[in-house]
Structure 1
Amino acid sequence: MCGRMAHKELTWAQLAGWMQGLAPGATEIETRYNVPPTAMIPIVRQGPLGLQGDLARWGLIPAFHRGSLKDWKATTINARIESVATAPSFRAAYRGGRCLVLASGYYEWQVRGGVKYPHYIRPSGNAPALLMAGLESRVRLPEYEGPTCAVLTEPVRGALAQVHDRMPVMMGLEAAADWLGGCPVEALPRLPMEALGWHEVARTVNSIRNEGPDLIEPIEPVAPDLFSL
């Protein structure tokens, strides 16, 4: 899954230099290191004139919802690839609401000795962000009007399985047009696992009240013989 992310000094200008043809969003991306669900996060959609950046509320609200935000009880920050094409909350967006969710990295928690230890997953090279397959739905509600989004997730691949059993669906720049153009998620080329790096970080990230670049700094993992202490 993906339940927390970071936007480490991401700017539309930086992303436009990386993603050719990207029109920046009207509102700049806020630098944050502990971004929770319901926050405004950067997305990219295919617009009539090319790629268009925007900010969307993390947690997809389907267009059929007619109540308020508080009336929507489902957890829709992630959409599982196993059911996204048929799940009532996601199927319309899967057919016609594709987007890319951008993050400089995301957090996942590894359980050791009954304790959850956070890890930060990030690009291993020079890419400024991870491109996650996303879904977008625009809503007009009493408390919020605008785009909402979800991140697609799938069973984890490779050595990252030591940390968690699921991961976002991620792709390289060359596959972004495929996803935005309607490519079935099963056929989408994935970001190679060697393009990812990860490390354990301090448990201060567990609280959304904590913020700052120290949250993504690597720490020495707790030794196995200390798990029971």
Structure 2
Amino acid sequence: MCGRYTITVTFEELMTRYFIDDPSFDQYAPKFNAAPMQYIPAVIHDGKRNKLGALRWGLLPSWSKEDKNAAKLINARSESLLEKASFKSLVASRRCVIPADGFYDWQVKEDGKHPLRIMLQDGGIFSMAGLYDIWTGPDGAKISTCTIITTAANSLMADIHDRMPVILNRDTEAQWLDRSNRDIPALMKLLQPYDSGQMLAYPVSPAVGNVRNDYRELLHRAGADAV
């Protein structure tokens, strides 16, 4: 699964990476411990170009009667997307990517759970596949929310957790974002485990377990620069 992640680059780096020329993100700041129910940066395609904005993490389906239970929909299993009422109608037209440069997961050992940060070997930005929806409240206020799609673990993640976020490469990212792409079977085939040879994992401080902690030192390797 994916319950915490990092996006620590500058706003300018995000804009350059996703070819953004008209961002709608007023208060971007790097996140060292992004958590569910927070507003996070996300990229969608409006039919002409990529757009960067903020989505609340935890999907609230447009048909929901009230704003609750979104915290339970932070992840969507790729294998059952087309079977779940909350997700199946979104695959055709409400796809997004969540920019990240790492994510956290907890490895269970005999002495307890140990947090690790997982990232690409080159340390670069990557795109986690997601879905979004827009909910309108009784007062007319709109809330835009998202979920991160997960898939089976690759060989690196297998010793940590049996699930991992779907990470798209540049080619599959473009296909996923393309709003004109309605080929559902082809889109579903994009949701595969990422190449473990291009990833690495290292231990970090247990401080990442507290959602109130959000500072650069959380990225440090535990034991060398523990916080």
CA distance 1:146–1:22, change in 2 (3 Å): farther
1:216 deviates by 1.4
| Consecutive unaligned residues in structure 1, runs of 5 or more | 222-229
Which secondary structure state, in structure 1, belongs to the residue aligned with residue 81 of structure 2?
coil
Distance 2:110 2:14 in 1: 40
1:114 deviates by 5.1
CA distance 1:53–1:108, change in 2 (3 Å): same
Distance 2:162 2:50 in 1: 32
Partner AA of 1:175 in structure 2: T
Name the residue aligned to 1:227. none
**Pairs aligned (count):** 217
The match for 2:74 among 74, 77, 99 is 77
CA distance 1:124–1:28, change in 2 (3 Å): farther
Distance 1:178 1:57 in 2: 23
The match for 2:197 among 194, 199, 208 is 194
Name the residue aligned to 1:64. 63
Partner AA of 1:34 in structure 2: N
2:154 matches 1:151: no
Name the residue aligned to 1:7. 7
1:220 deviates by 3.8
Partner AA of 1:29 in structure 2: Y
Q: Is the Cα–Cα contact under 8 Å of residues 152 and 193 in structure 2 kept in the other structure?
A: no
Which secondary structure state, in structure 1, belongs to the residue aligned with residue 23 of structure 2?
coil
Distance 1:173 1:59 in 2: 25
Distance 1:22 1:113 in 2: 50
Partner AA of 1:41 in structure 2: I
CA offsets 1:125-155 (integer angstroms, 9 cap, x no match): 152x220010010112269623100000011
2:52 matches 1:53: yes
Which secondary structure state, in structure 2, belongs to the residue aligned with residue 96 of structure 1?
coil
- Structure 1 runs of 4+ aligned residues shifted over 6 Å read none
Partner AA of 2:145 in structure 1: T
Name the residue aligned to 1:225. none
Distance 1:40 1:54 in 2: 9
Q: Is the Cα–Cα contact under 8 Å of residues 129 and 149 in structure 2 kept in the other structure?
A: yes
Q: Is the Cα–Cα contact under 8 Å of residues 59 and 70 in structure 2 kept in the other structure?
A: no
Name the residue aligned to 1:214. 217
Name the residue aligned to 2:41. 42
Distance 1:94 1:65 in 2: 18
Which secondary structure state, in structure 2, belongs to the residue aligned with residue 26 of structure 1?
coil
2:176 matches 1:179: yes
TM-align CA RMSD = 2.2
Name the residue aligned to 1:134. 130
1:107 deviates by 0.5
Which secondary structure state, in structure 2, belongs to the residue aligned with residue 29 of structure 1?
coil
Identity fraction in percent: 28
The TM-score with structure 1 as length reference comes to 0.86
- The answer to which of 49-58 and 24-33 deviates more is 24-33
Q: Is the Cα–Cα contact under 8 Å of residues 37 and 71 in structure 2 kept in the other structure?
A: no
